[in-house]
Amino acid sequence: MGRRSKSLIAVGLLSGSLAICVTVEAQPGSGHRNAAGFKNMRERWNSLSPEDRQVFRRNAERWMQMSPEERNLMRMREQLHRAKLKQEADAALRDAGLRLDQQKRELFEQRYLQERQKIERELSDEAEAKRKQQLPELNDRLKKEFQETNSTGKSASSPASSAAPKN
């Protein structure tokens, strides 16, 4: 799943959280829970870096421009993703041979998801760094290939075979 998809999913989740808070606010007798929910959201917002806030704003704008069908699709994808992660956390717990009460089980799942997210972020950053490192060589190779193609009169739509291995 690409960064854009993940960002859109994150926006969908945060929008869903906002919608839940608004719904709770609208319910009679829910004033105290509402204040705590908004305080928590304010703390989350304040904990974001300026770059993350900007990404969130852009994603929120994209979310608002989506059709209801697109939003539902994003919600369904996120639900599937969460279900898969929960199954993996359950499998990790089972594989560890631990028998935990409900509270510790939930804590285990939370920690598993946090660590899993950290690993995925690190892998994504590594892939991006590797991509950035390899792009200049790719651009130079293509530039040479297509300069030669233009100078020999060959069609630019049929590139010469590349010496670089294909992944």
Better pLDDT: 127 or 166: 127
CA 36 – CA 28 distance, rounded (Å): 16
pTM of the predicted model over 0.85:
no
pLDDT at 10 over 60: no
Residues 94-119: pLDDT tens digits?
999 989 999 999 999 999 999 999 99
Ordered DSSP codes for 63-124: HHHS-HHHHHHHHHHHHHHHHHHHHHHHHHHHHHT----HHHHHHHHHHHHHHHHHHHHHHH
Confidence band for 11, pLDDT divided at 50, 70 and 90: low
Phi, psi of 29 (to 5 degrees): 75, 15
pLDDT digits (tens, 9 = 90+) for 23-74: 344 444 444 556 777 778 888 888 888 988 999 999 999 999 999 999 999 9
Give yes or no for residue 21 having a pLDDT over 50. no
Task: Give the pLDDT of residue 7.
Answer: 54
* End-to-end Cα, the chain, rounded Å: 18
136-166 confidence digits (pLDDT tens): 999 999 999 998 767 665 555 555 555 555 5
Task: Please list, residue by residue across 21-54, b when 16 or more beta carbons sit within 10 angstroms of its beta carbon and e when fewer do.
Answer: beeeeeeeeeeeebeebeeeeeeeeeeeeeeeee
pLDDT, mean of residues 80-89: 93
SS3 content of the chain, % helix, strand, coil (to 5): 80, 0, 20
